[in-house]
Structure formats: structure tokens, C-alpha cells
Amino acid sequence: MILKMIEANLLNLIVVLIFTLLITFKLFTNKKRSSNLPPSPPSIPILGHLPLLKQPLQETLRNFSRKFGPVMLLRFGVRRTLVISSPSLVEECFTKTNDIVFANRPLLPSAKHITYNFTSMGAAPYGHLWRSLRRVAASELFSTTRLVATTHAREHEVKLMCAHIYKESSQKVELKSRFCDLLNNITTMAMMGKRYYGDVIDARDVKSAPRFRDIMREMFKVMHAPYLGNFLPLLAWIDFGGNEKRTIALMKRVDVFFDEVIDERRRIGSCKSGIMVDKLLALQQEEPELYTDQIIRGLILVNFLQLPFYIYFVNENPWIKRYNVPVFFLNIFCCFKF
């Protein structure tokens, strides 16, 4: 009984100390530094404006901007976020004089492992790595030349889909899933030379296809999961909700799968194939210190987390439309420290 009382009092003491430190920090914050900040709605201590966000999120932000102007400051826990609703001001933020200021993204705890400790494209801080990834993306991965090189893959996938629809034309055909499979297969074929969706799967990939689909399904669930640790560091430190543990376990599966693909393309691939992994392996031979296997895995994963797979996941999980989309965009909100 005495031990239980001591444990309860100790927990209460820790909570009181945490609140005291937070309040002290707030009181001693430089007031001059805050005087130049944009207008902001009244906030709640510690949580900031998080409790004020209602669905749909875009309408909540619109209502705030009507009241506080086209430039306002929101606070999500410890993170200050600049919200701009004027197209002209947004354009000004990304001009040659200001684009470097807004080049960095927040180093969110939830993205640490998915982005390989913030070394993947879209997450790397501005610097040599950021410029190198941007250069290879613009000149090699997403160039017109590469688009032409993958033309045959897109045409082949469209022909396969049309042939499959024709075979089923005697009955009602559900097209939404067919188009989702088409988008996903075009992406996987262009990147890895693999087809993981639909009914036409190579015999060598029969076992790996369900593994890949399961990994991507779990990846989007992790990305869309509400994670307050992004905004309250204490919750991230204790891994509240087990988000970090799940992400680490998932990334181990991702690394094993992509390493298998990379090793296979090393054996049978060709830089003239038009497949993205083959091109990256060719670049690795020229600059091995830059294009490591980890950087290649990060580039593969970033491409798979783009629109086609997002569409597929939303169609497979309708609950995202009504609940977690605001949370997802909140988790990747561009938070800038002022």
C-alpha cells in the first residue's frame, strides 16, 4: 500500500514539474521576438490550436484566414506553423529570394524512420544532399528522356487492362479497381520492372506481390495514423501509442524487400532498360559515396508514396476520406520556427 502511494505521488510530482517547466518557459519567452509574428487565434496552453481544428480542415483554415488575414500563425503543440492563403504571397515565398528559406521541412518524429533519418528526397534539409537529389530527380528520374524510355511499359499495361476488360465484357465490369491496378502497375514496372497488382503477375513474383501490397498498405496506415508526438515531444520520447515501434518494424520489412529488388536488378538489369532502379545503380557505379543502397531505397519509397498508391489506398480504405485525411495533412504540415 505504501509503495503504491509513493508511486502515485511520484507520478503527480513529475506531471507538476513538467507543467511548471512549460509555464516557466512560456513566461520567459522573449516578448520582442513574439511582437513581430503574424496574427494568431487564441490558443490553449500546451496544445496550442490543435483542439480548434475541425473537419473539414480546409474550411477551418479558411474561416481563420477570413478573421485574421491571409498570413497567420498557428501553434500545434510546440510547433509554430505559418499559414498563407493568398496566392500572390505564396508565390512570393517561393521566389528566388525566399525559396531557400522555405526549402526545409520539419523534422517530424513520425517521419524519421520512413525517410531514413531525413536523407530521402523531399525530407532532406537544404544542402549538398538536397541539391544532389533534386538534380538527379530533374535530370534523370523525371526527365522527358526517361518518360520516353518507359513508353512501352505504359502501352503494355494499357493493352493488358483492355484485353482483360474485353474478356469480361459479357458481364458487368468494375472499372475503378482496374484503373487503380493500372496506375500502380505502371509505377512498379517503370521503377522496378515488376507487376504486383491485378490478375496478370509473373510466376517469379507470385510470392513477392502480396508481400509488397501488404507493406504498402501498412505504410499508408502508419502515415495516416494520428501521432501527437509530432507536436508534443514528451509523447514522442515515451513512444506514446507505439507508433515508432511499429514504424521501425515496418521499415525492416521495407529494407529487406527493396534490397531483394536491388540485388536482382544488379544481376539482370541494364541502364538502357528505362527502369529507375537500373538507372540509379548505374549512377551508383559513378558516385558510390552519394548513391548508396539506402539513398536508392529512399528514392524508391518516395515514388511509391505518391498519387497512384494514395488513390489505391483511399479506395481500399474509405474511412480515410471521412476521418484521417486532415490528420495526415496535419502530420506533413510545413511547420516553420519563428
Per cent of the chain over pLDDT 90 is 12
The string of pLDDT tens digits covering residues 257-277 is 999 999 999 988 777 777 889
Residue range 15-26: mean pLDDT, rounded: 55
- Does the structure show a pLDDT above 80 at 254? yes
* pLDDT value, residue 130: 87
* pLDDT value, residue 211: 94
Give the C-alpha separation, 321 to 298, whole Å. 27
Give the C-alpha separation, 211 to 304, whole Å. 15
* pLDDT value, residue 292: 92
* pLDDT value, residue 337: 38
* pLDDT value, residue 28: 47
Total-model pTM: 0.76
- Cα angle value 59/65/71 (rounded, 5°): 135
Q: Left, alpha or beta for 240 (phi > 0: left; psi -120 to 50: alpha)? A: beta
* pLDDT value, residue 321: 46
**DSSP secondary structure code for residue 44 in this structure:** B
- Does the structure show a pLDDT above 90 at 79? no
Give the C-alpha separation, 154 to 142, whole Å. 15
- Does the structure show a pLDDT above 90 at 94? no
Residue range 57-80: mean pLDDT, rounded: 88
User: H helices within the chain, ranges in order?
Assistant: 2-27, 31-35, 57-68, 87-93, 128-136, 144-149, 151-167, 175-192, 208-224, 233-237, 243-268, 276-286, 293-304, 307-316, 319, 325-331
Lowest mean pLDDT among 24-33, 166-175, 233-242, 268-277: 24-33
